[in-house]
Every structure is written in C-alpha cells, then in structure tokens.
Amino acid sequence: MTERKSPGSLSSSAMPGVVERHRGEERFKFLGLAAILVSLSFLAFFLVSIIGTGYGAFLQTALKVEVDLTYDSLGLVEPATEEDIANIRYRSIVRSAMRDIITEDVGRREARTLYGMLGAAAEFDLRDIVVEQPQLIGTVASLWLTSSDDVDLYNKGDASEASQLQTRLSEKQQEWYATLEAQGRIKTRFNWTFLTSSDSRDPEVAGVYGAMIGSFFALGVCLLLSCVVGVLAAVYLEEFAARNRWTQFLEININNLAAVPSITFGLLGLAIFLGFFGLPRSASLVGGMVLALMTLPTVIISSRVALQAVAPSIREAAFGIGASRVQAVFHHVVPLAMPGILTGVILGMARALGETAPLLMIGMIAFIADPPSTLTQPASALPVQVYLWADSPERGFAEKTAGAILVLLVFLLLMNLMAVILRRKFEK
C-alpha cells in the first residue's frame, strides 16, 4: 500500500482525493479493530469475573471427624438390618462427633453454633457412606464430611485478610476452625455434589443435576418439534409452494415471529398447552414445546436460506434425468443444504438452552428438588437455576450461581462446537 502512496506512481492531480480516501480506509480499519477490541474486552471481563467467582462452586471443604458407629452407641443389635440403617439418627451422631473434637465446655447456645460448622450436607454424606459401606457399623470410623457453607466460604477465602474480617463465622467458631486446622482435620476437595444433586436451600447440598436433566428433556422435545416441523415447512415453502400473495404473507409473518419477545411464546404456551390441552404445569414437555415455538421461525428462515443457496443447476440436472420434484428435492437439494440447516437448528437450540422468560409463564421457574424422570414431571432448567440462586439470601449461593453459569456456558460451547463439526462433515 505504501507503494501506491509513493509520489512516482500516481500523482494526486491524476487521482483527485486519493490521499483522503486512503486516510478514510485507515480510519475505518482502526475503528473496526477498536470495535472488536471493545467487545473482546467485555467478553474477557465477563469470563474473568464469572470464573473468578464460579470456580469456588466446584470445590468444597470437608472436615475429618471420628464417627462412633458402634452397636452400643447406635442402640442396635447385631446384625443391623437395612431398616435399622435407614432409621439411624445421623444428625445426632454427627453432632456428638463434633463434641468429641471440641472438648471444652460449651453452653447450649454455643453448642448450636458448634454443630453449625457441619451443615445438613454432613448428615446426608454420613447416611450415603453408611448405606454404601454397612461394614462400618460396629466400628469408630474416621470420615471426611462436608462442612457447612459458612465454614466452606471461610476456608476458600482464607488467603486474604479482608475475608477473615468479613465472615459469618463467630469469633468462637473461628477459634474452633483454627483448632481443627491445626489438627489437620480440614481439607478442600472437588465438589461432586454440585454435579450430582439437585436444587436445595442449603448451598453446600445444592447442585445442578436436576436442572441439567430438565434442560435436556426440554431441549429434546424442542429439537424434535422444531427440527421436523421447521425443516418440512422450509422445504415446502422453498421448493413446492407456488409464489403468490399467500406465501408472501406467510413469509412476512414468519420473519416477524422471529423478532417477537420470547415471553410472548410463554403466554401462548400458557393459554394453549396448559389452558386448552390441560397439560401439567412446570413439565419439561410443555417447556420444550414452548421453546420449539420460539425457535421455529429461526429454523425456518435459516433452512430456507440454506435451500436457496443450492445451485439451480442441481435441480435442473435431476429433472433432466427424469427425477420427480420430491426426488430432486430430497435426494439432491436437501442433502446439499444440510450443513446450513443443521447450523440453523443448533444455533436455535443454543438460544433455547439459555432462555428463561417463556418458562416463567408455564411454571418452570420453581423450587424443584426432585430431578424429573419423565417428560410430564415438574422440571426446572439451567438458566432458571441461575436465576433462582442469584435471588437467594444465603451467601454461599453467590459462587453456586456463577458455577451454574459456567456449566451453562460449557453446554453452549459444546453445542456450537457440534455445529462446526457437523458442518465440516457434511461439506465434504
């Protein structure tokens, strides 16, 4: 480019305004680059802040305690039946284990704060361990149990002095914590609970499993409906329908639908699926159907664009050797348009995965602790879980919220990756 500017080649009198035009080009390139940098820095800021808060959700603090499971103290006779194991009072066992470590005399009120260091999670942990390993009964077992959310946050934040000052642990609890730490009874481990359990009001027990299953069900229904209906509609409109006022009218409406706010589809779902068909509230089936309504216009439009992009010579060649219209379309045009259609479908799905507004109206924004096992059972979805946790008063949910966002981002990334891979595969 510098050559062009050199005075020998073209004088500014020969090409009026050339200097100004080059300057304009430079300006445009600079602005374009700046725009990209700005959006990249927003993205980086978002990722850094989410990962910075969210990584804590994948770690949990465990306390090592000696649990007295001898027959005497459990009040059982050998051998323990399954029913006995189910009826063991795990809560009081955990509590007495805590008392064994902190031997100092504490009043009733203080004892409660001592027990508070092992939360509800410890109780469930202990039950799971005992059910899995019944041979532990009759022994005094040394076990790692999940700490309460306050202890967890204290442990994770202990690098900075500010967090030591700002903690929900009382001074007494901080003393006990120091004692436990000195005895090597505190460790940080990977938080499997976060991936295997469902919603809970105790941050240390809460997980995204139920929401993941709900999202999976809803997306399955959505994929089936929007893919089949959307692609068929696109093929018909593009290849078979006559061009007249009607199809033009349809086209305009489909384009408009793509821009309708998503909550409107929730209202439609409430009126038709719940009101008219009487389908159950909060079910992932209805969620999927509503999301399908929302993604249909996107799928139809992108499929039509993909079909339009197939060269007319392909169709003409097929007709030339005597193929019918259906044969020409389904044997030649659709396979060639497949990469484009699939990209549209997957991007539509990715949008559906992140959507909460339409789910609000059909009751999927709810506290649902049991993961769904059928399409008609109450289910929530990943973005809903993020929304609910962000609104919870317990401090521990801040990092769980960011953690759930990370899980959602990973799924979105995987779906987009799939779109790229499928496109490559079909383009060959």
412 burial level (CB within 10 Å; 0-12, 13-18, 19+): middle
Supply the minimum distance, in Å, between the C-beta of residue 221 and other proteins: 8
Residue showing tokens 């589809």 = 265
Q: How far is the CB of 422 from other proteins (least distance, A)?
A: 19
To which residue do tokens 């999976």 refer? 216
- Window contacting other proteins (CB under 8 A); options: 12-20, 179-187, 261-269, 365-373: 365-373
Residue 271 binds other proteins (CB under 8 A): no
Q: Is 273 in the site for other proteins (CB under 8 A)?
A: yes
Bridge partners (DSSP) listed for residue 62: 146, 187
- Interface region with other proteins, contact rule CB under 8 A, candidates 13-21, 270-278, 301-309, 313-321: 270-278
What residues does 425 pair with on adjacent strands?
Answer: none
Secondary structure letter of residue 274 according to DSSP: I
378 binds other proteins (CB under 8 A): yes
Q: Distances in Å between the alpha carbon of 146 and those of 56, 195, 269, 369?
A: 14, 15, 42, 20
* Least distance (Å) between residue 228 CB and other proteins: 5
Determine the interface stretch with other proteins among 5-13, 35-43, 188-196, 269-277 (rule: CB under 8 A). 269-277
CB atoms within 10 A of CB 402: 21
Contact indicator for 357, 372 with CB cutoff of 8 Å: no
Residue 367 within binding range of other proteins, rule CB under 8 A? yes
Q: Which of 10, 86, 224, 421 binds other proteins (CB under 8 A)?
A: 224
395 binds other proteins (CB under 8 A): yes
Q: How many residues bind other proteins (CB under 8 A)?
A: 44
The answer for residues whose C-beta is within 8 angstroms of residue 374's C-beta and 6 or more apart is none
From candidates 8, 75, 278, 322, binder to other proteins by CB under 8 A: 278
Instruction: Name which of 94, 129, 141, 128 is nearest 114 in CA terms.
Output: 94
- Residues composing the chain: 428
Which residues sit at the interface with other proteins, rule CB under 8 A? Answer: 165-168, 200-202, 221, 224-225, 228-229, 231-232, 273-274, 277-282, 285, 289, 326, 330, 363, 365-370, 375-376, 378, 388, 390-395, 398
